[in-house]
Amino acid sequence: MQTLDLKKQYKQLYAPSAKAPELVQVPQLQFIMVDGQIEPGRRPGDSPRFQAATSALYGVSYALKFMSKQRTENPIDYGVMALEALWWIEDGDFDFDKPDNWHFTAMIMQPDHITAAMVDDAVAKVRKKDAAPILDEMRFAPFEEGLCVQMMHIGPYATEPATIAQMERFAVEQGYRFRLLHHEIYLGNPRRTAPEKLKTVLRHPVEPMEPTK
C-alpha cells in the first residue's frame, strides 16, 4: 500500500517560520469546501454554522481517507489535513473584535488522487450516519492563491492582528500589497491546546504595488 506524507510534501505551505514573514508561491490544490457567515453575537469558536461546517468537512475527509485506503486497486493511505478557512466581509468595516459580518469558506485540502465521484460517495456515507443539511452545500473544487505572504502565528487567535500587521509591512517592503481573502490554517485544537501554544498559519495573497507617478 502506498502511503502519502502530505505534511512533508507540502511542508513549505503548512509549516512556515514563526520568526518572520515569507513569500511563497501557492499552487493549485483541491479542497472540499463549505461557505457560511458568523451569526450575530457569535465568534467562530461558538458559531453553530462554523462548527457544523467543521464537523461535516472532517467527517467527509475521514470517509475519503478510509475509502482510499480500502480500495482494491492502488490503495493509498494518507493523513487528513488541517482545517482551513478563508475570511472576508461583504459590507461595513472589518473589526477583529466584532465578527458579526464575517463570511467564511471552511475547507480541507485533499490529495490529488481524490475525485469528485469519491467525494460524492463519501458524502453519501456520512449522510447515512448524520443527515446534516450542510452536507448538501459541500463542494469539491480546485483553489489556487498564487503568490502569498505567510507566517506561523503562535498564540491566541485574538493576537493575530499583530502578526497580520507584520505580514503587511513585509509585503509593502517587498513591493507588494494584500489582495483577495485572508487565509488561516488551524494546526492546533483550541479545546485541547493552551491558547498561548496554538499554531495557526496566516496567509494572504499579494500583488505588485502600482508604481508611483
In a domain, 8, yes or no: no
In a domain, 201, yes or no: yes
Q: Is the pTM of this model over 0.85?
A: yes
In a domain, 53, yes or no: yes
Give the count of domains, the chain. 1
Range of the domain at 69: 14-208
Rounded to an integer, what distance in angstroms lies between the CA atom of residue 52 and that of residue 109?
18
| Alpha-carbon distances of 207 from 87, 171, 174, rounded to whole Å | 18, 9, 10
In a domain, 7, yes or no: no
In a domain, 79, yes or no: yes
* CATH (domain of 79): 3.20.80.10
In a domain, 156, yes or no: yes
In a domain, 2, yes or no: no
Rounded to an integer, what distance in angstroms lies between the CA atom of residue 103 and that of residue 44?
10
| Alpha-carbon distances of 127 from 18, 52, 53, rounded to whole Å | 39, 13, 14
In a domain, 1, yes or no: no
Q: Per-residue pLDDT for the chain (213 aa), expressed as one digit of tens each?
A: 899 999 999 999 999 999 999 999 999 999 999 999 999 888 888 899 999 999 999 999 999 999 999 988 989 999 999 999 999 988 766 677 777 779 999 999 999 999 999 999 999 999 999 888 999 999 999 999 999 999 999 999 989 999 999 999 999 999 999 998 999 999 988 788 888 999 999 999 999 997 655
